[in-house]
A and B are shown apart, each in its own frame.
Chain A
Amino acid sequence: MEKFISHTGTAVPLRRSNVDTDQIIPAVYLKRVTKSGFEDGLFAAWRNDPEFVLNQPQYKAATILVAGADFGTGSSREHAVWALQNYGFKAVISSRFADIFRGNSQKGGLLTVVLPQASVEKIWDAIEVDPTVQVTVDLAAKNVRLGNEVFTFEIDDYTRWRLMEGLDDIGLTLKNIDSVTTFESNRPTYKPKTLPIRS
């Protein structure tokens, strides 16, 4: 996983709340067996509309998505994170994210930043007035900056550390695999097993 310390780029306003993962990437695009190539499916239904914000030339190069509340609800598909990343997004800002989506994004190194709705509105206004304004999402400093504005955000220390180090969760757990073995030796015998097949 790539380290995330700070990122500066332009941002695109997605003025919609409750953007579910079926909108982020519709099911018909989920059939690939790799983690790449999902960019075409990103917001596929909405992108048919030439007016859709991602289709507007001034936002084509944006790397930060600023979305309405409850972003990423619905299906657990991690493809939603891959699609955003494949398309070129490094960070998403919203006032509220669905739990599974947020967890998935943190695994894959896509930074999800929670800001109060009022701050989101301010950023929307700013990037609509000037789509070229540079926005910095700084994980080290735990803030988002544009122009003279600084918006601080919260993130738990553990996740922040992992993202800044680019650490893979599995590797971290495997360091403690002995405790898993110990736990397993104490599991009750009545717990079900899937093998061998009984029927």
Chain B
Amino acid sequence: MSKTLAEKIWADHIVRSATGEPDLIYIDLHLIHEVTSPQAFDGLRLAGRQVRRPDLTIATEDHNTPTLNIDLPIADPVSKLQVDTLRKNCAEFGVRLHSLGDAEQGIVHVVGPQLGVTQPGMTIVCGDSHTSTHGAFGALAFGIGTSEVEHVLATQTLPLVRPKTLAINVDGVLPDGVTAKDIILAIIAKIGTGGGQGYVLEYRGSAIKALSMEGRMTICNMSIEAGARAGLIAPDETTFEYVKNKPHAPQGADWDAAVEYWSTLKSDEDAEFDSEIFLNAAELAPFVTWGTNPGQGLPLNASVPNPAEISDIEERGAAERALTYMGLEAGAPLKSIKVDTIFLGSCTNGRIEDLRAAAAVVKGKKKSDSVRMLVVPGSARVRLQAEQEGLDKVFLDFGAEWRNAGCSMCLGMNPDQLAVGERSASTSNRNFEGRQGKGGRTHLVSPLVAAATAIRGTLSSPADL
């Protein structure tokens, strides 16, 4: 019987299946960070259990690590306790950890791919909803809660109900200045924050195939913002090229065997999806969110919507509340919105290619005096690479701050936060109320829009310069 990609990977990982019960699925890689793991390790300790496969587990510090003065002890005592707890747990249970200061430290979803432990055909989990990022490699990857973290630590498996599949076809050629971020923001605006619920999304079509691995990761990363636990892109030459020669890539005969298997990982021609949607890449434009959920987005050339014109009562109420929170007037052109802070970073857009794209826009320009700009590489290795390419100089000359790696202002668990009423253009993935700091107002944008906005001080794309 013909199968979708998700069904193939699922079938290859069933440890046990029984009628009336969820399938028991084997987990190939478990990523860990300081926020969602302490209670899981505690559970193991209480029950006298071990980590079953420390060799399939890897930890990094990212969510609440500082991005300044990283050689000093963490100033916030509660953050420090969480990081110290992770260090203690990893030492006790034999789990590999990349601590602050280590070249492989960084956002867990940037670290996996750069080490090459993220590969096609795998099952990957992490106590973090943006684990969907790894789906860009054709891996079934999804976020889990802390109880599930404990379950995977103890058994290297998870009992799971097979999700449905939704094909998202994006065909055509993207116009200049339109990026992977704009594709995914447009998809979420189209299907809504609940549109992907219960599904694995498979992104297909010529526009997806044409993307780099970084672009594919940006797309899969935000699958969760459409309500889907996982997003997938079939692996191809672009994927193999990226994985090849990474520290943990298979070598020699293993490489050949792996590529042979990976090449089978695509949905069969006649495979049936539970649902399907279509998008024309040529019609897309730079996208920006105006509201407080990632589905509330529009092309940058549009104006703030008028809630009175929204027919759905729930949606209208949500739009009204969003405009009040965001301090926006219905009908105002999005491009007239002044921002205070630019955040370039996160697991959505904190990779080397994102930094390069933004640097190319700001090079030789001066930052608007009315904004501050934080550039936070996704990992210490991305930072090193950027420095080798001189990107740090470009950003510093421009007037931006060059920070150390971590989640930073994506969620503001460390000192990098918006003040009450402060407005950001952010390359991260969530514009929820207070996400970047209590009372902070977030507009989600691509790295190109972030860079152009930093020059003009109002939401802009490079075409406006």
- Which residues of A are in contact with B by a Cβ distance under 8 Å? 16-18, 20, 22-23, 26-28, 30-35, 45, 68-70, 73-79, 81, 96, 98-100, 103-104, 107-108, 156-158, 169-170, 172-174, 176-177, 179-180, 183-184, 187-195, 197-199
Contact A100 B42 (CB under 8 A): no
Contact with A along B216-254 (1 / 0, CB 8 A): 000000001001110000000000000000011110001
- What residue of chain A has the Cβ atom nearest to residue B117's Cβ? A192
8 smallest A-B Cβ distances: which pairs?
Answer: A104-B145, A107-B147, A33-B38, A78-B145, A31-B78, A76-B143, A190-B258, A190-B254
Question: Which residues from chain A contact B128 at a C-beta distance below 8 Å?
Answer: 75-76
Task: Let me know if A74 and B129 touch, CB within 8 A.
Answer: yes
A22 and B430 contacting across the interface, CB-CB below 8 Å = yes
Residues of A within 8 A of B56 (CB): 193-194
Identity of the chain A residue whose Cβ is nearest the Cβ of B118 in the assembled complex? A192
Listed residue (A32, A100, A170) with the most chain B CB atoms within 10 angstroms of its CB: A170
Which residues of chain B are near A197, meaning CB under 8 Å?
96
Contact B15 A179 (CB under 8 A): yes
Evaluate contact between B26 and A183: CB separation under 8 angstroms: yes
Tell me, in angstroms, the Cα distance from A76 to B434 when the chains sit together: 17
Q: Which residue on A lies nearest to B98, using beta carbons?
A: A197
Q: A99 touching B229 by the CB < 8 A rule?
A: yes
Chain B 298-316 per-residue mask, 1 if CB under 8 angstroms from chain A, else 0: 0000000000000000100
Tell me whether A190 and B250 are in contact (CB under 8 A). yes
A191 contacts which chain B residues (CB < 8 A)?
28, 119, 122
Contact of A74 with B255 in the complex, beta carbons under 8 Å? no
Q: Would you list 29 pairs from A and B whose C-beta atoms are within 8 A, ordered by A residue?
A: A18-B318, A20-B293, A22-B434, A22-B435, A30-B35, A31-B79, A32-B78, A68-B314, A73-B227, A74-B129, A79-B146, A81-B145, A104-B147, A108-B147, A158-B20, A170-B49, A173-B24, A174-B155, A176-B15, A177-B155, A180-B155, A192-B249, A193-B56, A194-B248, A195-B54, A195-B55, A197-B96, A199-B115, A199-B247
Known contacts A170-B150, A194-B56: A179-B24 contact under CB 8 Å: yes
Asked if B154 CB lies within 8 Å of chain A CBs, one says: yes
Is B81 close to A, CB under 8 A? Answer: yes
Residues of B within 8 A of A70 (CB): 193-194, 227
The CA-CA distance from A83 to B143 in the complex, in Å, is 19
* B116, B155, B198, B413: the one within 8 Å of A31 (CB): B413
Contact assessment for A192 and B248 in the assembled complex, using a CB-CB cutoff below 8 Å: yes
Q: Which of A30, A45, A158 has the most CB of B within 10 A?
A: A30
Residues of chain A within 8 A of B161, CB atoms compared: 156
Report the nearest A residue to B291, measured CB to CB: A18
CB contacts (< 8 Å) of A17 on chain B: these are: 314, 317-318
CB–CB A169/B129 < 8 A: no
Complex-state Cα separation, A157 to B18, whole angstroms: 13
Q: Are B85 and A194 in contact (CB under 8 A)?
A: no
Smallest Cβ distance from B442 to chain A, in angstroms?
11
Q: A17-B314, A70-B194, A192-B119 are in contact. Are A170 and B151 (CB under 8 A)?
A: yes
